[in-house]
Structure 1
């Protein structure tokens, strides 16, 4: 597979993963609403950074020669 093909597949995979993770976070929104603000902030901080973990192997694969 060419690099441009992997890049295109990787792009759509990244968008799908971010969308999926956003849906998961939204599903928990009602459960964390009664939490104190510091707990909500910590949850959203961790959730906002969690999408980076599965991206590294995908980015390495996309940039493979």
Structure 2
């Protein structure tokens, strides 16, 4: 475990917040227009999937924040 703070953690947190904000704005802007005529259950499933998709690259990103390596 590291004993000294590094620059990757605050930069990584800011990048994560910025990335999630951009992702949320894009989804909120374009998804409703694309799914306007879909059944409610289909829309719910898509929003659940989109709500989970952003977690996929998170593990590697958190590893980078702690160690400086992507893997």
Instruction: Please give the range of the TM-score, normalised by the shorter of the 2 chains.
Output: 0.7 to 0.9
Tell me the equivalent position of 1:35.
38
**With structure 1 as the length reference, what TM-score do the two structures score?**
0.84
- Structure 2, unpaired ranges of 5+: none
Partner Cα distance (1:24, 1:39) in 2: 19
2:61 paired with 1:61? no
**SS at structure 1 position matched to 2:37:** coil
Tell me the equivalent position of 2:24.
22
Work out the number of aligned pairs and report it: 64
- Which one has the bigger helix percentage? 1
Q: Which has the larger radius of gyration?
A: 2
**With structure 2 as the length reference, what TM-score do the two structures score?**
0.78
2:52 paired with 1:49? yes
- Structure 1, unpaired ranges of 5+: none
Give the drift of 1:24. Answer: 2.0
